[in-house]
Structure 1
Amino acid sequence: MTERTVPIDRDIARQAAHWLMRMHAGRVPPTDQQACAHWRTAHPDHERAWQRVQQVQQKLGLLPTDLAMGTLNRERRHALKTLLVLATLLPAGYLTHQTISRQHWLADMRTGVGERGEHRLSDGSQLFLNTDSAVDLAFTAHERRIYLRHGELLIDSGTDKGPHAYRPLRVVTSQGVMQALGTRFSVARQDERALTRLAVLEGAVRIHTHTGATATLTAGQQVSFSSDAIGPHTKANEFAASWTRGQLAADGLPLSEFIAELSRYRHGWLRCDPDVAALRISGTFQLDNTDAILAALPHTLPVALEQRTRYWITLRRR
């Protein structure tokens, strides 16, 4: 076992994260600099943890040089420190943006894998977050913006109960801006394809891509769009909002698509073999118990579960 792979004690990792954040807090008094140096030399594990936490910072860019920690509120400072500690405890090879997302951890609102969130916003809108999702809010006197950083949301737009005159409500992704026209709609980031998927359940939504393409969708329509182009309008999936009720609904859905969707709600590796991928599945399933969903599949389809661990499951033909 090399020095790079020897586990770091959690308490020492917390201390290292504390000192790193202190050293990024703007003007650092000489007494703090001396105390940090003394801590580092007090034990070899301290210096090792310090080097690791600095590596995490450099790799993930958690503490930009132009950011003084004093500008962050207490909740975000706590989230950032927690992220530093967790990343420091990981083996060095796992320090990637895919493993840990700074934007996700520091978002105004977020959910973990398998979690869902419901929030009543200050303007009266109701915001739902699906599994593994994160949003930032930017409400000003002139507009209401919701930045979808990751995952999927559903918004039931309110009548703007704030003290200002009516402010447009907009949802922003990497591909464009969607403006609500008195509506209820869902937005999902499809980052692996560099697309945003919009489904309008009530009212209408106007799309502006970042390169200037525009379109307006009305209730019952959905579309996927990139930064450059807007795809064809199709009929919105009638089950688009079922996840807000804690359900995964399917009507003749190919098993491969069903498993891909289910995998979003659980940790680990979940897949099906190509020879069962085209099997069709229908029903309404409770997302709070994905293990029960998987256990029920062999009773309705000619499949068997090959389970190496709880987090590594493959569906094969029985």
Structure 2
Amino acid sequence: MSHPGDTNSHGNDSGENIEKCHSSELQAAMEWQIILWSGEVTPQEQQAFTSWLNASPKHQQAWQQLQQIHDPFSHIPSDIAGRALRASGPDTRRRQLLLGFVVLVGIGGSGYGIQRTSHWQAATADYTTRRGETRSVTLPDGTVITLNTDSAVDVTFTDSQRTLHLRQGEVMIATAPDRATVARPFMVSTRSGQVRPIGTRFSVRQYDDVAGSVLVQVLEGAIELTPRSSAGIRINAGQQARFDQHQVTLPTPVDMAKSAWTRGLLIAEQQRLGDFLAELGRYRVGVLRCDPAVASLVVSGVYPLRDTDQVLQALEQALPIRIHTLTRYWVTISAS
């Protein structure tokens, strides 16, 4: 296994190799790289990293691909690099951008390739949120967008179009009438297709799966949803649908629990523990692992997202489970 600071450049293959790995594994590898670069690694964190690396061949693949990137800090004294990483805390946009800079410099002539990847686009987007953070922004036309945890959007306004590019995560949108002399349609662009609102309030979530699926919920008004490779459909207020590049599911009633994040809540209604923890993990930094032996336990309740550690403690009191905390970045839930 390579270590931070090793040089192993593979020319123009780097951007392509990064895209081969599933984004969740690559995101975890990036976080571990930042922790190891910080210069403040405890023995427990080193053990947790080793456990993560050995837990799956996909983790090893993600780590190996990340190490193929030439380390620009090889030209900088290690104490200066460590101070730069430690200066802004463990989970800030500055670190995300610093990592993007590391990737760009490391691959030299193939910089264009990495700029086309979803990870680069998310790290350099106009508006972003960290894990566990939500953020509301009023756009120049009066439209209000609220980003959920670990989300990224770009905004492009031209003379003929208003476009929001969802690079990662989830966003709630309350559109406003265009105040330009010539009205410009509003559009949300995702990896799998486009969403055009019709005087509406709606949410769009880009899932981190192979199909690039997207969930759209319409709370007010209506939207026209058009996958890249198939005909579009109209979805009205009180409906939701999921789509990928090739197809759209039939509209179903809105599951209001899925938009509870806008109120700082995570709601479970007869939900598998494994699925609940996967959702909770979106709001935490590090690994949140569920033992398959307890993954089918049923969870119901309303949980505040401001403190995910308290949520875990509440689950431990309500269910026959035990929370094992190796470090702040590695938590395992198993049978009690």
Same fold, TM-score > 0.5, yes or no: yes
Structure 1 residues 79 and 245 mapped into 2: Cα distance closer, same or farther (>3 Å)?
same
In structure 1, what is the equivalent of residue 200 of structure 2? 183
Q: After TM superposition, give the deviation of residue 9 of structure 1 in Å.
A: 10
Structure 1 residues 302 and 109 mapped into 2: Cα distance closer, same or farther (>3 Å)?
same
Paired AA for residue 284 in structure 1: V
The 5 Å alignment of 1:62-77 reads none
User: Which deviations, in whole Å up to 9, do the C-alpha atoms of 1:267-300 show, x marking residues without a partner?
Assistant: 1111222222222222221111111111111111
Paired AA for residue 138 in structure 1: T
In structure 2, what is the equivalent of residue 297 of structure 1? 315
* 1:87–1:100 contact (8 Å) kept in structure 2: no
2:184 equivalent among 153, 167, 171: 167
- Please tell me whether residue 207 in structure 1 is matched to residue 225 in structure 2: yes
User: Which deviations, in whole Å up to 9, do the C-alpha atoms of 1:118-150 show, x marking residues without a partner?
Assistant: 011111111000111110101122221100001
2:238 equivalent among 194, 217, 220: 220
User: Which deviations, in whole Å up to 9, do the C-alpha atoms of 1:222-259 show, x marking residues without a partner?
Assistant: 11111111122222211222111211112222111110
Q: CA RMSD in A?
A: 3.3
Paired AA for residue 177 in structure 1: Q
In structure 2, what is the equivalent of residue 256 of structure 1? 274
Q: After TM superposition, give the deviation of residue 164 of structure 1 in Å.
A: 2.7
In structure 1, what is the equivalent of residue 124 of structure 2? 106
Paired AA for residue 205 in structure 2: A
Partner SS, residue 155 of structure 2? strand
In structure 2, what is the equivalent of residue 281 of structure 1? 299
Partner SS, residue 248 of structure 1? strand
In structure 1, what is the equivalent of residue 75 of structure 2? 49
Structure 1 residues 77 and 163 mapped into 2: Cα distance closer, same or farther (>3 Å)?
farther
Partner SS, residue 183 of structure 1? strand
Q: State the distance in 2 between where 1:190 and 1:306 align.
A: 28
Q: Which has the higher contact order (CA 8 A, sep 6+)?
A: 2
Unpaired segments ≥5 residues, structure 1: 11-44, 51-75, 90-95
Q: After TM superposition, give the deviation of residue 111 of structure 1 in Å.
A: 0.8
Structure 1 residues 298 and 4 mapped into 2: Cα distance closer, same or farther (>3 Å)?
closer
Q: State the distance in 1 between where 2:37 and 2:304 align.
A: 39
Q: State the distance in 2 between where 1:47 and 1:223 align.
A: 46
* 1:175–1:209 contact (8 Å) kept in structure 2: yes
In structure 2, what is the equivalent of residue 63 of structure 1? none
Q: State the distance in 2 between where 1:255 and 1:78 align.
A: 32
Structure 1 residues 111 and 235 mapped into 2: Cα distance closer, same or farther (>3 Å)?
same
Structure 1 residues 298 and 127 mapped into 2: Cα distance closer, same or farther (>3 Å)?
same
Is the radius of gyration larger for structure 1 or structure 2? 1
Q: After TM superposition, give the deviation of residue 302 of structure 1 in Å.
A: 1.3
Q: State the distance in 2 between where 1:140 and 1:151 align.
A: 24
1:266 equivalent among 257, 262, 284: 284
- Please tell me whether residue 134 in structure 1 is matched to residue 152 in structure 2: yes
In structure 1, what is the equivalent of residue 163 of structure 2? 145
Paired AA for residue 178 in structure 1: V
The 5 Å alignment of 1:21-100 reads 48-49=74-75, 83-84=100-101
Paired AA for residue 316 in structure 1: S
Partner SS, residue 264 of structure 1? helix
Q: After TM superposition, give the deviation of residue 112 of structure 1 in Å.
A: 1.3
Paired AA for residue 242 in structure 1: A
User: Which deviations, in whole Å up to 9, do the C-alpha atoms of 1:67-101 show, x marking residues without a partner?
Assistant: xxxxxxxxx99985674259889xxxxxx99x993
Structure 1 residues 156 and 3 mapped into 2: Cα distance closer, same or farther (>3 Å)?
closer
Q: After TM superposition, give the deviation of residue 8 of structure 1 in Å.
A: 8.3
Structure 1 residues 180 and 238 mapped into 2: Cα distance closer, same or farther (>3 Å)?
same
- Work out the number of aligned pairs and report it: 251
- Please tell me whether residue 192 in structure 1 is matched to residue 209 in structure 2: yes
Q: After TM superposition, give the deviation of residue 5 of structure 1 in Å.
A: 4.3
Q: State the distance in 2 between where 1:311 and 1:77 align.
A: 19
Paired AA for residue 236 in structure 1: V
* 2:72–2:105 contact (8 Å) kept in structure 1: no
Give the structure-1-normalised TM-score: 0.70
Paired AA for residue 250 in structure 1: A
Q: State the distance in 1 between where 2:325 and 2:38 align.
A: 32
Structure 1 residues 46 and 221 mapped into 2: Cα distance closer, same or farther (>3 Å)?
closer
Which deviates the most, 302-311 or 120-129? Answer: 302-311
